[in-house]
Amino acid sequence: MTDSQSSQDAHINSDRSLKQLAWAIESSVGQFKLILARCNYASLRDRLISRLQEICQVEIRILAVQQSNRTLYTAIQEEFGAEIPACVMVVGLESVQNLSVMLTSANQVREEFRKNFAFPLVLWIDDEIYKQLIQLAPDLESWATTRDFAISTQELVDFITKTANQWFSNSFNFSVDVYIKLENELETAQRDLLNKPDVYNLEIQANLESLLGFIKQINNQKDSALEHYHKALELWQQNHNLEQWAKVLGEIGFCYYLKAFKHQDINHPDWQATWHYIQEYINFINRLKSPDLIANAVIKFGDILRDLQKWETLQSLSEQGLVIHRANNKLRELAKDYGFLAEVALAQNNWVKANQLVKQALEVFATITNLESANISGLLSNITEKVLKSKDFSLYQFILGRSQYHLGQIQEATLSLENAKDVGNSLEDVRLFLDILRFLQQLYFEQKKYLKAYKIKQQRRSIEQQFGLRAFIGAGRLEATKQAFVETLRSNSPQGNIAPEIAASGRLLDIERLIERMGRPDYKLIVIHGQSGVGKSSLVNAGLLPALKNKAIGTQDYLPVVMRVYTNWVEELGRLLGESEESRVCRDAINRVSTDWGESEPQRSASELGTSTSELGRSTSELGRSTSELGRSTSELGIPQYLISRLKENEQHNLRTVLIFDQFEEFFFVYTEPAQRKQFFEFLGECLNVLSVKVILSLRVDYIHYLLECNDLSSLKIIGNDILSNNVLYKLGNFSPADTKSIIQRLTENTSFRLEPALVEQLVQDLAGELGEVRPIELQVVGAQLQTENITTLAEYQQRGTKGELVKRYLNEVVHDCGEENQQAADILLYLLTDEKGTRPLKTHAELERDLMPYFSEIPPTPLKKGGFILATPFLRRSPQAGGSETRAKQASEISKLDLVLEIFVQSGLVVLLPENPNDRYQLVHDYIATFIRQQQEPKLKQVMVELEKEREQRKQSEVKLNRVFKRALFSSIAAGLGFAGLAAVTFQWTVEANVHLINAINNSSEAFAVSRQHPDALIAALRAGSKLKHTIWAQHRSDTRMQTVATLQQAVYLKPNEPKENRAIEVNTLEGHSSAVNSIAYSPNGKQLASASDDNTIKIWDVSSGQLLKSLTGHSDEVWSVAYSLNGQQLASASRDKTIKIWDVSSGKLLKFLTGHSNAVNSVAYSPNGQQ
């Protein structure tokens, strides 16, 4: 049979099947009928649908399912509501992220389709989906009528040729879901053409292999992609197609880069292969003398050459690109050329040239209005303009900051690097973002800003863990894994994936069991409990949360809401519910745009998107107002009914809300009285009575008994008033040795950090010890130190000390991060958090400061409280006569040193901060660390005490000798002394009189203020007089001065008869937390919050009624001098000595924008009356 005859037969068969499909639709109007239309090619399907709409007498409504849809029933119901269309045709099933979940769910609720969908339902599927349907939804499939549609040979050849031409001409601008469909189509096409050797010629084979290589690369199947690319390269070489040859050669180099991406060592074979093929590609295009290929090579491979540190090649390529891009007026590419040349100058230690070149890059970049994306190919074709622009700007700011640093412009360098960090995003270019964090950490550490440096270090390590660049995180909390754009454009989930630590261990079974409980009606409440350090928060955030976001029960999607802050739980929960819904709506709207089918559909969806997002803006703003009002009237309402109503609304929208209260023990720290806690427990009971709502509490085992307070509430009858039953409690334990081996293998297999099997065996044996179990936190601590020291063999492990030594060095690293001048205090502080029994006592800040004193030979007396406090009174204002910031900082230096060390310990995870009333307490994270600290620090501290004792003894001996000298000299000096005594007495009397006159003058000014009813000024002056009297000892013996000062204070503080109460000076609250002076404060418009700006470079937001710290905003690199709330109270502006103004979102604490332009410190900030400026 000839190809033309075969094609003609295919057309006839397709036309016959299409008429049969039209007849089946027309005969089933008004009743449910399932029809499966099998077609493997989107282009053929589109033509068939258009033809079907012409010949069918019934109006056909087309539904393009979204990538994030998890249930087919819900997708149809949300699209059409109560409307009953004549016929619904579903396309896009091949793009659904969790198609298995969708098919399983459809099978479970198949009767609902029959009851509620009185119309024919046509599902367009390919062969792969048909196989899954038979396997996962056999009952549903048994109801269906199937129609097959085949493509003709000529159409297939045209499809391959057209698609290949698009790719080779760099005009591939498909959405991600199209790439996913294309993989199935190309593989099917290859199978179809294998049986047709007369058609499957060399060029068609080469086109197919090239396209399959690219699609496999997109879908993160790098080894398979390379296999196809190498086959394509051989075919193009045989066919002597030079441009296609060059294209595939470049893609091979780029694909090897994707493989090498997670390896830190550039000598790794994948890095060497990357360099080999890129070098071959550059030489090849230079021989071709193609300006377009050379220009594109700079953009595609410039970043890779920078990572490979191939500076000569990067310089040569960038200089060629500079000439071409300037001639073609390609501004973005021109800026990139300058940026790469600046990188080369940095590598050559030519700081001035690097500074000049990057400033040229920034000047060109500033003129770009729209990115020219025509020449962007491969993976970059799907990255948005905003992403590319922010990545470029972040890179230029990073280069600028490094050049400024080497030129000695430290303050400017800090600002540039902060800009690079703020604009950058780890998802866009994780290696660049990590380089920025690494340099910024070094810069802050050199400036002795140790806390900032440590926070950046923790952020860097967390990102490395999330992107699979770090196997072990240490004592921190695991997060869901992510993928960078450079790795793949196909993301299984916008929220990330289950962390490998969870998937590799028995924790995956825990997640499955928890999800199984949530799918059953008899499990309404789950209490996850376990010892400190067992991994409860990691299970919730890195395992359960991403798993729930990809699950559905019947027609309902899960909507998990995780809460960790309990200071104002009503308002916080309202905010989180709003954010979760906003995230879901935005995600669905974006996916709807990317998956719409047909020519006219995208326009319709775009308008719908505009409507939905505007409605979303209104709903979230209304939510903010409602929660704000709710916060004011919580005590009046008892149970916050608004939240209950919101949960019921979610249920009506087919959402199964899962409220997860993580680290729930902190709730009991904030609400110390049972009466305060009762409101929450009553709300909890109301939640459990909403049919679709599930609640999870995660807390330490030693706080479970607090839950008994709610056991007798009538609303908890749904769980049998037995909150500690087996149906409620879920214990989380340690790892078994076998699980631990699996975890280590899975954690290290996708990184450059590989451990030999003998080391894994010995390590697991040491970690298990006598207990026979492995603590998750200990595995992370020891593993993190192994990776830090790059210990990969058993011999190295035994040589450098086993588990105990590694833990000690891990502790030493955290101590080192506190700074050299603080290391002794840090060592002693760790020791003070242990006792002779090797356990972990709870200690307050004051107790720790008191216990530190004996270990220092000379410690100036300081009050046992935190430095940098705010006295909140109705008359609060900054005194113009107050001392300078340097004096205040010096007074608080000793306390701030202790605060600094404690903060770093808490950030590191070694120490747990327990917020309690009346004072917070600190505790080591685990008993096993206490043992190591005791062993390590006790000899050191004994030596310190010996040296202190020796010093004291030497001081006593020196004092004895000095006394002898004084006695001998006394007699000879008496005569002369008598002569000088008179003069000294007169001088001293003058000094006392001067101080007395000053105190009296201040008292008089206070009285004058009081008479003129300037009560705040009267109070400030009286306090100054009292302070001056207190520190002038001899003046205190002047009874008239002392009595006048006391009277002045009484007059300023206490009311006179018939005087208005508003003139009373009452201390309402003392807000403590800043480590240096407070320069400015501002109340929010509703009076519920107070923002404070400090010399410690931070802004803190406080709850006025409770005095609790709500948020701490960090981002300024120098002292913050002024703060101001916007008129609606949703934003906060701050002015700083670092020459910038920053705008913050009050609810989330996120930096919204930063304003630069001042050449010196910014002293004050204010919003315009309309709030627009």
Q: Does the pLDDT value for residue 295 go beyond 60?
A: yes
Q: List all residues 6 or more positions away from 995 whose beta carbon is below 8 Å from its beta carbon.
A: 1028, 1032, 1034, 1035
Q: Does the pLDDT value for residue 915 go beyond 80?
A: no
Phi, psi for residue 871 in degrees, rounded to 5: -95, 110
Q: Does the pLDDT value for residue 1040 go beyond 80?
A: no
Look up residue 655 and give its two tokens. Answer: 């959402």
Q: Does the pLDDT value for residue 961 go beyond 70?
A: no
Question: Could you report the per-residue pLDDT of 1003-1025, keeping only the tens digit for each?
Answer: 777 776 676 666 667 777 777 77
Question: Could you report the per-residue pLDDT of 201-260, keeping only the tens digit for each?
Answer: 888 899 999 999 998 988 888 999 999 999 999 999 888 888 889 999 999 999 999 888
What is the average per-residue pLDDT within 71-95? 89
What pLDDT, on the 0 to 100 scale, is given for residue 467?
80
What is the average per-residue pLDDT within 27-55? 90
List every span in the chain annotated with CATH 1.25.40.10. Answer: 290-470
Q: Answer positive or negative: Cα dihedral of 708, 711, 712, 714.
A: positive
Within a 13 Å sphere around the CA of 1041, how many CA atoms are in the beta-carbon half? Answer: 23
871 exposed, middle or buried (CB, 10 Å; 0-12, 13-18, 19+)? middle
Percent of the chain with pLDDT over 90: 23
Q: Does the pLDDT value for residue 62 go beyond 90?
A: yes
Q: List all residues 6 or more positions away from 968 whose beta carbon is below 8 Å from its beta carbon.
A: none
Specify whether the CB–CB gap between 253 and 277 falls below 8 A. Answer: yes
Percent of the chain with pLDDT over 70: 75
Helix (H) or strand (E) holding 1145: strand 1141-1145
**CA distance readout (Å), 100 to 71, 524, 544, 558, 1054:** 10, 26, 19, 16, 74
Most confident of 187-196, 451-460, 715-724: 451-460
Q: How far apart are CA 1143 and CA 1125, in angstroms?
A: 10
What is the average per-residue pLDDT within 26-35? 92
Q: Does the pLDDT value for residue 872 go beyond 50?
A: no
Q: How far apart are CA 88 and CA 76, in angstroms?
A: 9
Specify whether the CB–CB gap between 961 and 868 falls below 8 A. Answer: no
What is the average per-residue pLDDT within 496-516? 66
Which has more confidence, 935 or 1121? 1121
Q: How far apart are CA 131 and CA 121, in angstroms?
A: 19
What pLDDT, on the 0 to 100 scale, is given for residue 862?
33
Is 290-470 a domain of CATH 1.10.3720.10? no
Closest CA to 486 of 437, 543, 434, 419: 434
Specify whether the CB–CB gap between 343 and 314 falls below 8 A. Answer: yes
737 exposed, middle or buried (CB, 10 Å; 0-12, 13-18, 19+)? middle
What pLDDT, on the 0 to 100 scale, is given for residue 310?
93
Q: Does the pLDDT value for residue 357 go beyond 90?
A: yes
Q: Does the pLDDT value for residue 856 go beyond 80?
A: no
Angle between helices 351-366 and 331-347 (to 10 degrees): 170
What is the average per-residue pLDDT within 715-727? 80
Which has more confidence, 608 or 828? 828
What pLDDT, on the 0 to 100 scale, is given for residue 139?
92
Q: Is 789 helix (H, G, I), strand (E, B) or coil?
A: helix
Give the CA angle between residues 130, 132, 135 to the nearest 5°. 110
Q: How far apart are CA 435 and CA 238, in angstroms?
A: 43
What pLDDT, on the 0 to 100 scale, is given for residue 583?
59
Most confident of 259-273, 331-345, 878-892: 331-345
Closest CA to 91 of 587, 597, 490: 597
Written as one string, the DSSP assignment of 645-706 is HHHHHHHHTTEEEEEEETTTHHHHHH--SHHHHHHHHHHHHHHHTSTT-EEEEEEEGGGGGG
What pLDDT, on the 0 to 100 scale, is given for residue 374?
37
Specify whether the CB–CB gap between 380 and 174 falls below 8 A. Answer: no
Q: How far apart are CA 99 and CA 105, in angstroms?
A: 10
What pLDDT, on the 0 to 100 scale, is given for residue 924?
84
Within a 13 Å sphere around the CA of 1051, how many CA atoms are in the beta-carbon half? Answer: 25
Q: Cα 334 to the chain's mean position, in Å?
A: 33
Q: How far apart are CA 46 and CA 161, in angstroms?
A: 18
Specify whether the CB–CB gap between 1007 and 1047 falls below 8 A. Answer: no
- When mean pLDDT is compared across 64-73, 284-293, 376-385, the lowest value belongs to 376-385
Which has more confidence, 674 or 1032? 674
Name the band, by pLDDT with cuts 50, 70 and 90, for residue 1061.
Answer: low
What pLDDT, on the 0 to 100 scale, is given for residue 614?
36
List every span in the chain annotated with CATH 2.40.10.480. Answer: 1077-1155
Angle between helices 803-816 and 823-832 (to 10 degrees): 130
**CA distance readout (Å), 908 to 137, 628, 903:** 49, 34, 9
Specify whether the CB–CB gap between 1083 and 1104 falls below 8 A. Answer: yes
What pLDDT, on the 0 to 100 scale, is given for residue 395?
92
Q: Does the pLDDT value for residue 32 go beyond 70?
A: yes
- pTM for this entry: 0.62
What pLDDT, on the 0 to 100 scale, is given for residue 635?
38
Which residue shows structure tokens 């030999």? 756
Question: Could you report the per-residue pLDDT of 984-1002, keeping only the tens digit for each?
Answer: 555 556 566 667 777 777 7
Q: How far apart are CA 579 and CA 626, in angstroms?
A: 14
Name the band, by pLDDT with cuts 50, 70 and 90, for residue 390.
Answer: confident
Query: Which H, E and C letters describe 375-414, residue by residue?
Result: CCCHHHHHCCHHHHHHHHHHHHHHHHHHHHHHCCCHHHHH
Q: List all residues 6 or more positions away from 590 whose beta carbon is below 8 Å from its beta carbon.
A: 609
- When mean pLDDT is compared across 207-216, 664-673, 790-799, 975-984, the lowest value belongs to 975-984
Q: Does the pLDDT value for residue 770 go beyond 80?
A: no
Question: Could you report the per-residue pLDDT of 668-696, keeping only the tens digit for each?
Answer: 878 888 888 888 888 988 888 888 899 99
Q: Cα 230 to the chain's mean position, in Å?
A: 39
What pLDDT, on the 0 to 100 scale, is given for residue 581?
67
What pLDDT, on the 0 to 100 scale, is given for residue 1060?
59
Q: How far apart are CA 475 and CA 909, in angstroms?
A: 5
Which has more confidence, 338 or 887? 338
Written as one string, the DSSP assignment of 582-639 is HHHHHHHHHHHHHH--SSSHHHHHHHHHHHHHHHHHHHHHHHHHHHHHHHHTHHHHSS
Query: Which H, E and C letters describe 1081-1120, residue by residue?
Result: EEECCCCCEEEEEECCCEEEEEECCCCCEEEEEECCCCCE
**CA distance readout (Å), 900 to 451, 554, 819:** 7, 52, 10
List every span in the chain annotated with CATH 3.40.50.300. Answer: 3-151, 500-568+635-731
What is the average per-residue pLDDT within 945-955? 63
- When mean pLDDT is compared across 622-631, 834-843, 1028-1037, the lowest value belongs to 622-631
Q: What length is written for the chain? A: 1173
Closest CA to 274 of 299, 301, 296, 247: 301
What pLDDT, on the 0 to 100 scale, is given for residue 142?
92
CATH of domain 500-568+635-731: 3.40.50.300
Name the band, by pLDDT with cuts 50, 70 and 90, for residue 748.
Answer: confident
What is the average per-residue pLDDT within 420-443? 89
What pLDDT, on the 0 to 100 scale, is given for residue 974?
52
What is the average per-residue pLDDT within 136-148? 91
Class of domain 3-151: alpha beta
- When mean pLDDT is compared across 467-476, 497-506, 600-609, the lowest value belongs to 600-609
Written as one string, the DSSP assignment of 730-759 is EE---B-HHHHHHHHHHHHHTSS----HHH
CATH of domain 1077-1155: 2.40.10.480
Q: Answer positive or negative: Cα dihedral of 741, 744, 745, 746.
A: positive
What pLDDT, on the 0 to 100 scale, is given for residue 817?
93
